Amino acid sequence: MHLTFACFPYDRVRPLIDGRVRVEGAALLPIPLPSEESFPRAHNRAEFDVSELSLSSYLMQLGRGESPYVAIPAFVSRAFRHNAIYVRAGAGIDDPKALEGRRVGIPEYQMTLGLWVRGILAEDHGVETDRIAWRTAGTNAPGRKERLPLVMPPHMDVAPLPAGMTLNAALLDGSIDAIVAPSPPAAFTAGDPRIARLFPDAKAAEMGWHRRTGMHPIMHVIGIRRDVLARDPNLARRLLDGFQAARTMALEEMERAVAASFAPTMLPWLEQAWAETRAVLGAGLWSHGVAANRPALEAVCRWSLAQHLSPRALTVEELFAPGTAEG
């Protein structure tokens, strides 16, 4: 079976892309794409046989009975998110609770980053995120839109900024008070003192949160188009095994790189950064499977309903193809 496979070429996926790891009974035809290109093509048009998916958009479509894909618990993208909240200096937002009643920009309300940030703000800091006025636009370039239509209750204030506006410009001119975004606003990158992170030491906040919760936020999953899986129901398990093998190979490559007498990357303190990461995340670093990730998966199911994205409560088991949720 020849399968088109859309995914960014992450180190933990690359062995599947370059053929060092093979999936029994399938020939993967890699289409290396960044998520901003693959997600609309997958979620809106189901163009690929196997695709990287936005976890939040997948939950929305699954809850609505509209998902063209079935996921496997291969979590190819993860990111801690305390560092993704930017505020306008002088706006009086000195703690998370002060975001209530403010206008906060985000590229898309439905995006997985927003799901995690709102969940963390609500459960860790008591923020009533429904009391925030959410404004959507591209962070540094205009034109960003919700990839799936939202169905918000009447009390929610979620609306796009005017055409041509960016979150960066809106924060600087006072149209919004804060930004939640995966990439920093251009003014912050340029060192503009008018923009600061809500959590000044975001790394410490993220490590502390991880130690309390055990979670490493899952951003993206891998989906198999339903018609493809119907032709070979065992493909899901074999594909998950392939992602597990690719992850193991990537970890081994990193260990060899750290131990090498020459620097394989331009990161000068690679050994120290890797040791710190290992110390915090432990043996479960970038783990696939349900068992090691159940708290995070239960959280996103809970939050998707609470944040008016999924129209019904989802269970962890129904997220994944049969035969892949046991381990």
| Residue whose token pair is 């006025």 | 133
Average pLDDT over residues 170-181: 97
Domain interval for residue 25? 2-78+217-319
Which pTM was predicted? 0.96
| Alpha helices, H only, the chain | 14-17, 35-39, 55-63, 112-125, 167-173, 186-189, 202-213, 226-231, 235-259, 270-281, 294-306
Residue 264: what pLDDT? 83
Last residue of a domain, one of 173, 195, 213: 213
Nearest to 248 by CA among 13, 51, 19, 25: 13
**pLDDT band, very low/low/confident/very high, at 64 (cuts 50, 70, 90):** very high
Q: Is the pLDDT of residue 327 over 70?
A: no
What are 1-41's pLDDT values in tens digits?
899 999 999 999 999 999 999 999 999 999 999 999 999 99
Residue 52, domain CATH: 3.40.190.10
Number of structural domains found in the chain: 2
Q: Is the pLDDT of residue 96 over 90?
A: yes
1 vs 6, 260, 316, CA distance in Å? 16, 39, 29
Residues 65 and 102 in one domain: no
